[in-house]
Copies of this chain bind each other. A is one copy, B any other.
Amino acid sequence: QMTFDPEIFFNVLLPPIIFHAGYSLKKKHFFQNLGSILTYAFLGTAISCIVIGLIMYGFVKVMIHAGQLKNGDFHFTDCLFFGSLLSATDPVTVLAIFHELHVDPDLYTLLFGESVLNDAVAIVLTYILSIISPALISNCFVSTCFFNSFISVFLGLFCTVFFTGQLLFPLTHLPHLTKFTKLCEFPMLETGLFFLLSWSAFLSAEAAGLTGIVAVLFCGVTQAHYTYNNLSSDSKMRTKQLFEFMNFLAENVIFCYMGLALFTFQNHIFNALFILGAFLATFVARACNIYPLSFLLNLGRKHKIPWNFQHMMMFSGLRGAIAFALAIRDTDSQPKQMVLTTTLLIVFFTVWVFGGGTTPMLTWLQIR
């Protein structure tokens, strides 16, 4: 069998990617745009999740009507689950091109910040939905279920972020360790401690039953903010290059594995109507996320987000490794298998078409 345990994604491959994302945040622009980024990441992801969930629920009803699906196979929570995992955008190609072409730093930061944080949000959403959905299915009264899940998701999200924030407290000793000792004379030891303590943030969060991914993201941000400045110049370079390399390797492994999974996964369920619905839902949800929120944000921002930036953000809604990893985590039931197949197709389509179309799009929108 050409598969490996999906837990490997969450314990081995994702942490370096997420940590690197946090560690390489450009702080100045990030904190300048923090309000907008948080709005897109939290509110936007919630909107995206619900819109995709609702549209897919409509398509599921149509499929049941057309006899392609049995009633009771695909619950509303399954639709929301699909919505939450498809909300994790991953514009890695777009950002690489932006970086290459030195596109406007505000646009870069908005997209990058959104994509980093909404991964965490999507992971927490998916996790909470997978926990509460069995309880809700038995009492499938849509509006109650909807309301309940919405509240629990946000409470859960808040608590997780809050507690992982607390978890990081021991880690703030690392800046002290690097600042007030002679550790900087042994860059190798310094790098080793840096690596192990960052990893321990992930492990301790997982051991405490929280989401390690969120912990590792915030750990990356705080490490970059506090510890990085106290490192020796040798360690600065070492840690940067190490995490860059680990990120590169992990991302490539995931993309290779996605290619394999498309052809070797045994239980693919291709359903034209479902796939059509998913593509439609993805684009509608992205539009419902970007345009209304940008409008609201522009009311308060000094530097408005112009129309062409909004179109570019709309266009950069690539789906990637996280969506795939969340989809492959659970493929026991038929709906989940359908979700995996559809997610894979959406990932490949968005990466190839939107990723490949970035440069022409930038020219067309007169951003460069």
Contact = CB atoms under 8 A, between A and B. Distances in A.
B249 A245 contact: no
Contact of A249 (B195, B238, B249, B252): B195
A192 B195 CA distance: 19
B249 A192 contact: yes
Contacts of A191: 245
Interface string A225-256: 00000000000011001101100110010000
A275 B329 CA distance: 52
A237 to B, nearest CB: 8
Interface size range on A against B:
10 to 19
Contacts of A195: 245, 249
Interface in A167-223: 188-189, 191-192, 195
A188 B244 CA distance: 8
Nearest to A239: B245
Contacts of A248: 188-189, 192
Interface in A141-161: none
A156 to B, nearest CB: 34
A232 to B, nearest CB: 14
Contacts of A249: 192, 195
Nearest to A238: B241
A248 B195 CA distance: 12
Contact of A192 (B189, B242, B245): B245
Contacts of A192: 245, 248-249, 252
Nearest to A241: B238
B238 A245 contact: yes
Closest 10 CB pairs of A and B: A188-B248, A238-B241, A192-B249, A192-B248, A191-B245, A242-B245, A241-B241, A192-B252, A238-B245, A188-B244
Nearest to A189: B248
Contacts of A252: 192
A248 B191 CA distance: 10
Contacts of A189: 248
Given A195-B249, A252-B192, A242 B244 contact: no
Nearest to A247: B188
A242 B188 CA distance: 11
A102 to B, nearest CB: 18
A241 B188 CA distance: 9
Contacts of A237: 241
18 contacts: A188-B244, A188-B245, A188-B248, A189-B248, A191-B245, A192-B245, A192-B248, A192-B249, A192-B252, A195-B245, A195-B249, A237-B241, A238-B241, A238-B245, A241-B241, A241-B242, A242-B242, A242-B245
Interface string A303-332: 000000000000000000000000000000
A127 to B, nearest CB: 28
Contacts of A238: 241, 245
Interface in A55-83: none
Interface in A96-121: none
Given A188-B244, A192-B248, A192-B249, 4 more contacts: A191-B245, A237-B241, A238-B245, A241-B241
A345 to B, nearest CB: 27
